[in-house]
Amino acid sequence: MVSDTLDRDASWRRLRWRCRRGLLENDLLLTRFLDGFDQHFSDDVVFGLDQLLNLSDNELLDLVLARQQLEGELLDPRVIAVLEALRRA
């Protein structure tokens, strides 16, 4: 039980760190998004967010602002759900 909590805390810190971006707009959007979870996130959210964080800053911002649409491997329900939540954040 303690190990699970430590693993979750470490995962949370890694996600927070990965959300630090070069573009201030992305940094603000991602921080606001993560603040809404208060360290409680599902594996689906982690997967979707991880896929989006693999994109460049400009690609990510274009997706969040709906200037581009998801395509290819990103057309995954988990990625779509996280992107929609980011847009609402």
* pLDDT, tens digit (0-9, with 9 covering 90-100), for 37-73: 766 778 898 899 999 999 999 999 999 999 999 999 9
Range of the domain at 7: 2-88
CATH code assigned at 22: 1.10.150.250
pLDDT bucket at 21, cuts 50 / 70 / 90: confident
H helix or E strand, kind and range, residue 58: helix 57-64
Residue for token pair 């971006």: 21
**Interior CA angle at 20 toward 30 and 22, to 5°?**
105
pLDDT bucket at 19, cuts 50 / 70 / 90: confident
Task: Report the domain count for the chain.
Answer: 1
What is the SS3 assignment for 75?
coil
